[in-house]
Structure 1
């Protein structure tokens, strides 16, 4: 029985997967991983960086491998793994000199503008998608700027924050427009007002004020309508929405949705 057990054990050892990187030092393995990333071979780089992180545990090399792993996961579309790697890095190394880059990369991953093939075919805008990722990106960029104002990534983070604010404001207006087209005028007014209050410097405020005025007009709230129109005239005296809003008492029909400025949709787009 002992001999049989030994044979089984040896057979098991013989079938164990061989680590192709077993005899390579962590420093050399890391350099190889960087070369693979430069060539765009992120899948191979991930395998190598995982070995470096494990073997060089507790060193700066391991920390660098964690950061590079997050980037490699991001480039291969593994967003959840990339974010998990960054969160772990920031939790374990709160004083790391690479913390500013970790925050920047975290924001960049959530900021991702790629709508994909379906998004391009449907002409879907960033403002029409779930805005939680944009909010998460904004928070990462905000922390970067506040904690590391002199970081090399701070200026780009500021530009992306402005873009996110405009996208979030446009998202509120998109929802308000949706409610208005379906006759839910109170909900439309509330969402448009949210855009005006939260994103005062965004270009989307112009249409938000118009939607507020038209919604209040449909609800018979003339004082609120006149107030929204007054702000629209003062803030955007040449607004193209002024003429449209002036005829707000016309109930939108199913063809136009009350939005004369809307671009025509493809014949196959049903929403």
Structure 2
């Protein structure tokens, strides 16, 4: 399964990539064949990494034999092929259609796992990753969607073979969401919107207490309480900060 599609691209490779994005290849015309032959051809192309051709064969199979014995597996393979070819909108549409039409299918856990992967991928930006640009301030809509997908997978299919990786990914996604909340809190604090900043800090403490961003959230809360003239609340926050982060600079300079 392709979890990272583009790595180590040179400047020339980047130029070629940009050139390739400027035009859409003509869709392959698939000859009339029995369902079993179409499916076999799609698998050969998947194994060869020819995902566009695999997609053409799978789409032809589902169009011509929508209720055949290969239909369910073809839908699942189509999801993988769309994802591997970086067609995330088509992958999401296929996943949602599969879940809607097959709510009790034995492979729903796979569909949910793939939905999480696709939503994670939608949050990424290739150019930001290539040049190591931190954009954790970007609206994390797709990250929230991915988190929800993995959460549902773990809740409804705890014994799934995809559950361990989903749990690990949820930890990373929660950290990303906490960074976003703290950056928004920073934004509000810099603009003297102390109540709004305080609310974001409290949100991190309540819903993301096991993330590295808690330390900065507590610092911002203490600063906001100071600006709001709420001395007791500030001291309480500093005590919590000192208890959990005894070497914190604010604790050493303000809270001592």
State yes or no: 1:201 paired with 2:201: no
In structure 2, runs of 5+ residues without a counterpart are: 1-27
Q: What's the offset of the Cα at 1:153?
A: 0.4
Indicate how the Cα distance of structure 1 residues 114 and 96 shifts in structure 2: closer, same or farther if over 3 A, else same: same
Larger radius of gyration, structure 1 or 2? Answer: 1
| Residue 116 of structure 1: aligned partner | 126
| Aligned mates of 1:243, 1:207 — CA distance in 2 | 15
Indicate how the Cα distance of structure 1 residues 188 and 122 shifts in structure 2: closer, same or farther if over 3 A, else same: farther
Q: TM (normalized to structure 2)?
A: 0.81
In structure 1, runs of 5+ residues without a counterpart are: 1-18, 248-271
Write out per-residue CA displacement over residues 12-31 of structure 1, whole angstroms, 9 at most, x where no aligned residue.
Answer: xxxxxxx9433322222222
| Aligned mates of 2:29, 2:120 — CA distance in 1 | 36
CA RMSD of aligned residues (A): 2.0
| Aligned mates of 2:46, 2:174 — CA distance in 1 | 33
Q: What's the offset of the Cα at 1:226?
A: 1.0
| Aligned mates of 2:247, 2:42 — CA distance in 1 | 56
Indicate how the Cα distance of structure 1 residues 189 and 20 shifts in structure 2: closer, same or farther if over 3 A, else same: closer
62-71 or 180-189, which moves further after superposition?
180-189
| Aligned mates of 2:125, 2:72 — CA distance in 1 | 32
Q: TM (normalized to structure 1)?
A: 0.77
| Residue 241 of structure 2: aligned partner | 232
| Residue 79 of structure 1: aligned partner | 88
5 Å matches for 1:1-271? 20-112=29-121, 114-118=124-128, 120-121=130-131, 123-125=133-135, 127-243=136-252, 246=254
Q: What's the offset of the Cα at 1:216?
A: 1.4
Count of residue pairs the alignment pairs up: 227
| Aligned mates of 1:241, 1:24 — CA distance in 2 | 71
Write out per-residue CA displacement over residues 99-128 of structure 1, whole angstroms, 9 at most, x where no aligned residue.
Answer: 110010011111226332145547224x32
Tell whether the 8 Å contact from 2:30 to 2:56 is kept in structure 1 after alignment.
Answer: no
Q: What's the offset of the Cα at 1:83?
A: 0.8
